[in-house]
Amino acid sequence: MVITSLCRSELAEEGLTKAKKGNIIGRQTLALFYATDFADRLERVILPALEGGFIVLSDRYTYTIFARYAVRGISRSWLRKAYGFALIPHLALYLDVDLDSLVRRALKAEKLGFWECGMDLSLSSNLYESFLLYQKQMLREFKKIVKEYNLVSVSSLGSVPEVQDRLRKKVRALLDVKDTEMDARESQEPIVEGASD
Amino acid sequence: MAGLHETHSYPGMLIVVEGIDGSGKSTQLDLIRSWLIQEGYDVFFTEWNSSKLVKETTKLGKKRQILTPTTFCLIHCTDFSDRLQRTIIPPLQAGQIVLADRYVYTAFGRDAVRGVDRQWLRDLYHFAVRPDIAFYFSVPLEIAIQRIFRGRAALKYYEAGLDLGLSRDPADSFRKFQTRIVEEYERLVDEYGLVAVHGDHPIEKQQRRIRKIVMEHINRKKMKSNEDRKHEGQILWGGYPLTPEHRVTGAPDRP
């Protein structure tokens, strides 16, 4: 199994992290920088792992970028074309949460940072208000994306084991399908005479 | 986003030069720059792959030789986007002249040779501003190669197109790589209406022709030199026309 997540590529992690710090980078440029990061991970981590028969777990995918930058006024169709080289995942899980629960979780985890609050959008000078306004837009955008790409929505309400249980069911279902496919393929393979002693 | 097929609506003017290495484009652009400054225009200059924000990442990728055709393309597009927003569009908005040494056509040529889908490239760069004039310097390959080898000790990995696996010998690979790029450029001349210039003609002859074309555009667009602006009584501050409300309170008048 291989795990990958945004801004973790050998090529772009450092440059992207640095560029984000000063808040001087344009939105479109940032969306492209993330595309570079994504492409590097796709071609040098995800694809080789898939070819080797591994399961790849990706913490966020192109959908996050689509939502973040659509909210920031970047053309939706351009974003989709720019990321047109991405692979369609076998399973894309969307952890559904309402704004109220999201706020409480973010407060508990002390996650009201500049980007999480969408402060670059100048929605409000107040951190908390900005967080609410920004996340509301993000949830709305994600809802559209869930429909557009048939993401599998899983409620993230409840305890960690409860949510985990829901997720495992979805993953298990996919693995079963894959196993059946594999069995079918193996049974169809011709037996080569003399191939084994 | 007006795109590359629509004329931009900024008051400024964007002039770009394209061509393979050794085609003489940078020499000609330098001459244009000095001439326009002499004529009293404020000129802004930008070159391919020079965004301060992105450069380090490109360098890292090249040094470790980890760039694939896709990431090579995307990192250059990131670089271009940063320069477009930061150094190209603002002067155009202010009615100034911007000179660009290489533009999106470089990506269309190089990346297509590396096997990147042509339509995807055009979609990706859709946000680019269409230049007012784009010169393409065509030159026989042998002349370009002679010029390159005269001024350089060794060819770099990606510059020679060694990542394409055309040849193990850098010089041979470079030749094959450039030949393919020229083929791509030839298509772009028609597709985007690039103005072809013979890069092997005497420097002065090329320059005369280029200046004539640039001047026609300047006149047609009624671009104003600093002298024109002074006559019209516009206040100049650092070369930019500033209305009183834009000026810092108490700032002294420019002599």
Interface list for chain A against chain B, based on CB atoms closer than 8 Å: 10-12, 14-16, 18-19, 24-26, 28-29, 32-33, 35-36, 39-40, 43-44, 75, 78, 81-82, 84-85
Structural domain boundaries in chain B: 13-223
Please judge whether B56 and A18 are an interchain contact, meaning their C-beta atoms are less than 8 angstroms apart.
yes
**What is the structure's pLDDT at A25?**
87
Residues present in chain B in total:
255
**Contact by Cβ (8 Å): A116, A131:** yes
Closest CA to A116 of A104, A105, A97, A130: A130
**What is the structure's pLDDT at A196?**
46
**What is the structure's pLDDT at A184?**
86
Please judge whether A10 and B64 are an interchain contact, meaning their C-beta atoms are less than 8 angstroms apart.
yes
Buried b (16+ CB within 10 A) or exposed e, A116-145: bbbbbeebbeeeeebbbbbbebbeebbeeb
Between CA B187 and CA B136 the distance in angstroms is 11
Q: Beta strands B240-241 and B236-237: pairing type?
A: antiparallel
**CA A77, A79, A84, A86: dihedral to nearest 10 degrees?**
-140
A&B contacts, CB < 8 Å: 82
Cβ contacts of residue A52 below 8 Å, gap of 6+? none
Cβ contacts of residue A35 below 8 Å, gap of 6+? A65, A82, A83, B74, B77, B78
Say which DSSP state A75 is in.
-
The residue assigned the tokens 């908005």 is B93
- How high is the ipTM of this complex? 0.89
Please judge whether A25 and B126 are an interchain contact, meaning their C-beta atoms are less than 8 angstroms apart.
no
pLDDT in tens, B211-254: 999 999 999 999 988 888 877 766 555 555 555 555 554 444 54
**What is the structure's pLDDT at B70?**
98
**Contact by Cβ (8 Å): B242, B235:** yes
10-residue averages of pLDDT along chain A (197 residues):
94 93 86 98 97 96 98 97 97 97 92 90 95 97 98 96 98 92 80 51
In angstroms, the Cα distances linking A27 to A13, A79, A112, A120, B232 are 17, 12, 20, 10, 38
Q: Beta strands B133-138 and B195-198: pairing type?
A: parallel
**What is the structure's pLDDT at A157?**
94
**What is the structure's pLDDT at A97?**
96
For A109, the 3-state DSSP assignment is coil
**What is the structure's pLDDT at B255?**
43
Say which DSSP state A191 is in.
P
Residue of chain B whose Cα is closest to the Cα of A41: B71
CA distance A33 to chain B (A): 6
pLDDT in tens, B67-109: 999 999 999 999 999 999 999 999 999 999 999 999 999 999 9
CA distance A167 to chain B (A): 33
**Contact by Cβ (8 Å): A4, A46:** yes
Q: Does B124 touch chain A (CB under 8 A)?
A: yes
Please judge whether B60 and A44 are an interchain contact, meaning their C-beta atoms are less than 8 angstroms apart.
no
pLDDT in tens, B139-195: 999 999 889 888 777 889 999 999 999 999 999 999 999 999 999 999 999 999 999
The fold adopted by the segment(s) B13-223 is Rossmann fold (3.40.50)
CATH class of segment(s) A1-90: alpha beta
Please judge whether A81 and B124 are an interchain contact, meaning their C-beta atoms are less than 8 angstroms apart.
yes
Please judge whether A26 and B126 are an interchain contact, meaning their C-beta atoms are less than 8 angstroms apart.
no
3-state secondary structure string, chain B?
CCCCCCCCCCCCEEEEEECCCCCCHHHHHHHHHHHHHHCCCCEEEEECCCCHHHHHHHHHHHHHCCCCHHHHHHHHHHHHHHHHHHHHHHHHHCCCEEEEECCHHHHHHHHHHCCCCHHHHHHHHHHCCCCCEEEEEECCHHHHHHHHHHHCCCCCCCCCCHHHCCCCCHHHHHHHHHHHHHHHHHHHHHHHCCEEEECCCCHHHHHHHHHHHHHHHHHHHCCCCHHHHHHCCCCEECCEECCHHHCCCCCCCCC
In angstroms, the Cα distances linking A122 to A65, A99, A102, A130, B157 are 19, 20, 21, 8, 44
